[in-house]
């Protein structure tokens, strides 16, 4: 009998790719969406858990709502609490629960590779809600792993995110694009590589509780633009908008991947140009 995996946020960008990957490997997947499992309604969550999962991967959350802090905390923190409360009442506990946090919890740090051992200093409401979720997990007698993914992208990600915005402008042959600083380096990993790590974490024997999901490889936006010029055969005028710029922005922020690698895991480093080409062709 195949293992049963309960995935929240299944209709989201990451969730769609994760569910497809798990099914391809033979897992039985419950695709929890806002329609069949409203994480803000504990009764809805309990009803959905009649699926009796062996594993739970919690991806659901608000990732882009800069003006609505109340909604962010309601979904990202209170929704996660509902999920963990409902799991705690299950007769058969899942073998493992994976909670998707975010590298944004690190917040204001010195430039360089960020280790899981650093003290988080979250700045945004989103990052603060994710750290609260991490702290909440300590209160439950469940096998919980927390992931802190660094930036990743791919075909189908919304244009309110930076890389899809750039790809979309080239695809539309736009004359001008407004951006912020072009030189700071950040990770832009491939979602297909990220979901493979989630699957491997399901059965990983480890004493660690928190894992960065990253490649340790950063790219500047100027480099991304050059790749897009090559891929599209088009040029675009870049106007730097002060509203998108931060004076104190670190020059490079990437993941310290030592813990991931010490546990036999390695984010397959699909070259960023290959990822951009995939996105451009599927825009």
Distance from C-alpha of 2 to C-alpha of 28, rounded to nearest angstrom: 6
Distance from C-alpha of 9 to C-alpha of 96, rounded to nearest angstrom: 17
Cα three-residue angle 155-156-157, rounded to 5 degrees: 100
Distance from C-alpha of 128 to C-alpha of 115, rounded to nearest angstrom: 18
| Sheet bearing 219-220, strands edge to edge | 112-114, 252-255, 185-186, 219-220
Residues in Cβ contact with 91 at an 8 Å cutoff, skipping those fewer than 6 apart: none
CB 133 within 8 Å of CB 99: yes
CB 145 within 8 Å of CB 211: yes
Q: Which of 17, 27, 106, 126 is catalytic?
A: 126
CA max distance for the chain = 60
- 126: annotated active-site residue: yes
Q: Coil, helix or strand for 135?
A: helix
Kindly list the catalytic residues. 126
């Amino acid at each position: 009998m195949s293992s049963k995996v309960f995935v929240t946020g299944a209709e989201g960008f990451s969730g769609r790719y994760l569910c497809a990957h798990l099914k391809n490997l033979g897992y039985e997947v419950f695709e929890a969406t806002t329609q069949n499992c409203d994480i803000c309604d504990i009764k809805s969550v309990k009803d959905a858990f009649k699926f009796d999962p062996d594993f739970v991967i919690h991806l659901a959350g608000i990732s882009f709502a800069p003006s609505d802090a109340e909604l962010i905390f309601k979904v990202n923190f209170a929704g996660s609490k509902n999920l963990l409360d409902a799991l705690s009442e299950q007769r058969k506990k899942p073998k493992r629960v994976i909670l998707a946090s975010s590298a944004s919890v690190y917040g204001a740090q010195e430039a360089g590779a960020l280790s899981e051992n650093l003290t988080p200093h979250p700045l945004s409401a989103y990052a603060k809600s994710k750290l609260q979720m991490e702290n909440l997990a300590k209160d439950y007698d469940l096998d919980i792993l927390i992931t802190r993914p660094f930036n990743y992208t791919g075909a189908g990600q919304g244009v309110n995110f930076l890389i899809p915005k750039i790809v979309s402008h080239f695809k539309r042959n736009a004359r001008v694009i407004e951006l912020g600083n072009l030189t700071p380096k950040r990770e832009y990993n491939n979602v297909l590589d990220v979901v493979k790590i989630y699957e491997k974490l399901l059965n990983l024997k480890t004493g660690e509780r928190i894992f960065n999901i990253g490649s340790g490889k950063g790219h500047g936006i100027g480099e991304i633009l050059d790749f897009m010029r090559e891929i599209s055969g088009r040029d675009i005028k870049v106007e730097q908008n002060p509203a998108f710029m931060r004076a104190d922005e670190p020059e490079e922020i990437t993941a310290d991947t030592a813990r991931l690698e010490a546990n036999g895991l390695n984010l397959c480093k699909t070259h960023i140009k290959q990822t951009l080409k995939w996105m451009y062709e599927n825009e």
